[in-house]
Structure 1
Amino acid sequence: MDWTNLNADVTKLMNVHFTPGREGRTIDKIVIHHNGGNLSIDQIWNVWQDREASAHYQVESSGRIGQLVNDWDTAWHAGDWDANLTSIGIEHADDSTDPWHVSDAAIDSGAHLVAALCRAYNLGRPEWMHNVFPHSHFSATSCPASLAENQRADYMSRAQAYYDGTSVAAAPAAPSAPAGIHVDLPSWTLPIGHYYGLVTGPNDSHGGFYESERPAVRAIQLWLIRHGYAGAVPDSWADGIYEQPTADAVTAFQHAERPNSTDRWGEVWADDLATMAANN
């Protein structure tokens, strides 16, 4: 995410269920939402194709940010037309449903986005119920759940620290590697322009479609598990098939260890593998 110019990691704009422009109104607030599920940018875009709703941004559990409605257009998110016209809506994926919980990476990215928006639109320092509001303030809903409850203080303290330019809200450090987690990572032998990526990707994406690719993919998956980027999963999760959960874990690794060094989120290129090997 380019915080200065507000360029999201992914842009996937809605073609329905938003209103062009803002009827001459100006942005004076940010409204916080949760997905009610662990949705990706693509998944929430698909949901909003059928549901008469939208928001400007989606923050995935990995911390990756997608823009789905341009800031200068009106998203249908607050349940109150005046609030829609004067706000930016930010959705956050939940990584747990019982109880509701948002991942640390999503909190950090969401808070950083709030700070960046407050600066870009001269809203002032982020303050709860002043320029940052829960969805429930405008509609009869429990949204944004934990972000208005037990995770609110953490979220807002990070947003304020990012706005202030202090180090308090710095992105969480990469998980420290416990002893005995060494993984024999593959040497880089892929052709120029090729990478490890989704098994359903193009021909230059090596994701385990061929049996010969699977040992390398499995080694990458094991590294992600043992360094804490894949969540609480057993080693058997490393099956050598590069699907969306693997891409999400790679994105989490990139946000933590290579945030300013890649724009190929969720894919493992030679420099990504070199970073993994250096921290093995």
Structure 2
Amino acid sequence: MGISNLATKYGFQSFPHYSEGRSGATINKIVLHHMAGTNYDIVPGIWQTREASAHYGIGKNGEIRAYVDENNTAWHAGNWNANISSIGIEHCNLTGDPTWQVAQATIEASAKLCADIAKRHGLGTLVMGKNLFVHSDFSATSCPGPYLKPRVQEICNKANAINNGTSAPQPTSGLYRVRKTWADAKSQKGAFKDLTNAKKCADSNSGYAVFDEKDNKIYPSSSSTPAPATPTKRLTVQINGLNVRNKPSLAGAVVGTYNKGATWTLPKAEQFTISDDWVWARAPIGYCAVGRNTGKEESDDYIFIS
């Protein structure tokens, strides 16, 4: 059995949506997600009906729970080849839509878990895009959300520091300089011994970054800097008691409900599904009926799209 010593079992493999074994694949990556929800305890109960799962989840206070044995395949990346070769980690949100924030305790615990997984599976130094990924690297999804995604490099750095026996990345001089560019010394806002303070300074000065003495831009890194915002469409529920189903069909099991005013966002490019003469949209925990398939928006549609 493969479970991190940092984790405790919770609803462990009590749901049907995972696969025994790894189909002969070797674990070579970690994939990070956010739960798109603030209730840590309802996971993994929603996987009783929703065709998804993950190996681990991390709560707001940093508690790590194991859901699927690492030797088995969790259904988390939306890509079979990625699923059989990866370990999926969910992060509980501190706030809901639209910011989907994650607690610092969750970030710290994620770094520890990633370090542990990397060490046990021989992944070596974690590098984003090489052996550390996010859900949207494999599927058309907004997961892991606008707050967590820019902080994945921080998790990566902390995990590597743990495995390298240091508490944080340290430049030779012990100073972190905040400038527009390394070459533009006149733009420097300050030099800090504490990386956290340097990051705060950079964050409060648009266009500034943190550099170590060797001209290494360490914050925000090119991989952690948020990409230009993906155009999104906003979905707003117009009725009370709108069913959320585990698939876009009237035959899908009901996994929850939304009331009037509930909102979420989807990429502009995401297509709706037509089934049973209804238009269906993906929701954070499943699929909702938008309205009858009439070919245009109707005043009695269940969901307003803007």
> TM-score band, normalised by the shorter chain?
0.5 to 0.7
Deviation at 1:5, TM superposition (A): 5.3
- Alpha-carbon distance in structure 2 between the residues aligned to 1:66 and 1:126: 22
- Percent identity (aligned): 41
Deviations 1:59-110 (A, max 9, x none): 0111000000000000000000010000000000010223121100000001
Q: Give the match for residue 148 of structure 2.
A: 147
Q: Give the match for residue 47 of structure 2.
A: 48
Q: Give the match for residue 24 of structure 2.
A: 24
- Alpha-carbon distance in structure 2 between the residues aligned to 1:124 and 1:95: 31
Q: Give the match for residue 113 of structure 1.
A: 113
Deviations 1:160-192 (A, max 9, x none): 2112121228xxxxxxxxxxxxxxxxxxxxxxx
8 Å Cα contact 1:147-1:155 kept in structure 2: no
Question: Of Structure 1 and Structure 2, which has the larger fraction of its residues in helix?
Answer: 1
8 Å Cα contact 1:126-1:163 kept in structure 2: no
2:95 maps to a residue whose letter is S
- Alpha-carbon distance in structure 2 between the residues aligned to 1:109 and 1:72: 22
- Give the number of the structure with larger relative contact order, counting CA–CA contacts within 8 Å between residues 6 or more apart: 1
Deviation at 1:155, TM superposition (A): 1.9
1:123 maps to a residue whose letter is L
8 Å Cα contact 1:115-1:125 kept in structure 2: no
Residues 1:62 and 2:61 aligned together: yes
- Alpha-carbon distance in structure 2 between the residues aligned to 1:143 and 1:105: 19
Residues 1:93 and 2:89 aligned together: no
- Alpha-carbon distance in structure 2 between the residues aligned to 1:154 and 1:26: 26
Rg larger for: 2
1:23 maps to a residue whose letter is S
Deviation at 1:10, TM superposition (A): 3.5
- Alpha-carbon distance in structure 1 between the residues aligned to 2:51 and 2:20: 15
- Alpha-carbon distance in structure 2 between the residues aligned to 1:45 and 1:130: 28
Structure 1 residues 109 and 7, CA, compared in 2 at 3 Å: closer, same or farther?
closer
* TM-score, scaled to structure 1: 0.56
* TM-score, scaled to structure 2: 0.51
Secondary structure of the residue that 2:43 maps to in structure 1?
A: helix
RMSD: 1.7
Secondary structure of the residue that 2:87 maps to in structure 1?
A: strand
Q: Structure 1: any 5+ residue segments left out of the alignment?
A: 170-280
- Alpha-carbon distance in structure 1 between the residues aligned to 2:129 and 2:70: 21
8 Å Cα contact 1:112-1:159 kept in structure 2: yes
Q: Which stretches of structure 1, 4 residues or more, deviate above 6 A after TM superposition?
A: none
Structure 1 residues 5 and 102, CA, compared in 2 at 3 Å: closer, same or farther?
closer
